[in-house]
Amino acid sequence: MKKNQKKQSLFTTLGFSPKWCVFVVFILLLSGSILGLLVKNNGPVTKKIPTYMLAKENKVNEVELLPQEADNTATLTEVVNTEQKVDEEEGIITPMTTLFDENKLPVIGKITGPVVALVIDDMGVDLIHTQQMLKLNDIYTVSYLTYAPNLQSQIDMARSKGKEVLLHVPMESVHKIFDYGPEVLLTTNSRTENLKVLSSMLDRASGYIGINNHMGSKFTADLPILSAVVEELANRGLMFLDSKTTPKSQAENIIAHIRLPFASRDIFIDDSNKPEDIEKFLQKTEILAKKKGFAVAIAHPRANTISAFEKWLPTLKNKGITSVPLSYIIDNFKK
């Protein structure tokens, strides 16, 4: 009797009645049994995430892996150090050259002896001289100004006549007297602005193998600015011909780190429009080709230049020199 009174006094002291304690114990035992059945039948209890939430989480992870630049393009240093794209030589990428390979003019048969690539700039604006230049059989590479009228039709015409095509892209000059046309790449533009302008020009047409600079003595001397253009060409699988309008051009320094089809101009044939001067530079082209095996010469669609070519081109065969597309020199002398 005393023992029961002692227990009753303990419950009373804690503030619980014996009936309440029995009820709580019953509820706990019942909950444990139900939980045990759930684990047995369904495995561990996990938080189920809806499918759309999983997709959202994955998307966030992808965004975090992207470069931080707003224009989503890598800088020259980032491209050089990207391990997934490196070649045998550490730090040098091997960009795809799809458009260059697809649109270049194939050379059939074996060529021996020195070769010259004659590139005709400023095509497409002076339509009469443009058409006359296209009629010359031994001219294989032509470069159309990006603002030429009916650009795609003119490129299609040139390709139908057995020519490979470049786009002649206006770039800033050290001189202030030039009319660049409606669009030009400038050293005062940001990287993003220049890439936007470049894309606008490149997207005007198709069927070309790459670009060369129209003027650009200031732009091509600026390594960081020019590198953005070269990287974009690499991304698109295009080539770059440095017209070499300045001895300070940084193109070759950039190409040392980015492997893409590249050539540079050796001789301007018609800086002077005098027939005797044109003839002199044609002879210099021959001498250079024989000395190093090839020469890249740039000329323009002008009456005196066309007349000089009509006389000079038929003489090359007897001199052991072959006129070839620019792509042939890149494929055989620039790798």
- Domain ranges within the chain, ordered by starting residue: 2-42, 98-333
- The owner of tokens 């890149």 is 330
- Listed residue (199, 255, 201, 202) closest to 227, CA to CA: 255
**What's domain 98-333's architecture?**
Alpha-Beta Barrel (3.20)
Residue type, 4: N
Question: How many C-beta atoms lie closer than 10 Å to residue 160's C-beta?
Answer: 9
Buried/exposed code over 233-271 (b: 16+ C-beta within 10 A; e: otherwise): bbebbbbbbbbbbbeebbbeebbebbbbbbbbbbbbbbe
Task: State the Cα–Cα distance between residues 268 and 305, nearest whole angstrom.
Answer: 11
Write down the pLDDT at residue 2. 44
| pTM for this predicted structure | 0.72
The string of DSSP codes covering 47-96 is PPPPHHHHHHHHHHHHHHHS-SSTT----HHHHHT-GGGB-SSTT-B---
- Listed residue (202, 204, 200) closest to 233, CA to CA: 202
Write down the pLDDT at residue 98. 80
Spatial CB neighbours of 248, under 8 Å, sequence gap ≥ 6: 217, 220, 221
Write down the pLDDT at residue 176. 83
Residue type, 218: K
Judged on CB neighbours under 10 Å (0-12, 13-18, 19+), 207 is: middle
Residues of the chain with confidence (pLDDT) below 70:
1-97, 335
Task: State the Cα–Cα distance between residues 323 and 251, nearest whole angstrom.
Answer: 25
Query: Is the CA virtual torsion 95, 101, 104, 110 positive or negative?
Result: positive
Distance in Å from the first CA to the final CA of the chain = 109
Q: How far is CA 100 from the centre of its chain?
A: 12
Task: State the Cα–Cα distance between residues 180 and 173, nearest whole angstrom.
Answer: 9
Write down the pLDDT at residue 179. 84
Task: State the Cα–Cα distance between residues 79 and 85, nearest whole angstrom.
Answer: 8
Write down the pLDDT at residue 259. 80
- Listed residue (297, 309, 331) closest to 212, CA to CA: 297
Instruction: Say if residues 126 and 134 touch (Cβ distance below 8 Å).
Output: no
Write down the pLDDT at residue 323. 98
Q: Give the H or E element holding residue 8.
A: helix 2-14
Distances in whole angstroms, Cα of residue 208 to Cα of each of 142, 218, 327 = 10, 25, 11
Question: How many C-beta atoms lie closer than 10 Å to residue 282's C-beta?
Answer: 24
Write down the pLDDT at residue 254. 95
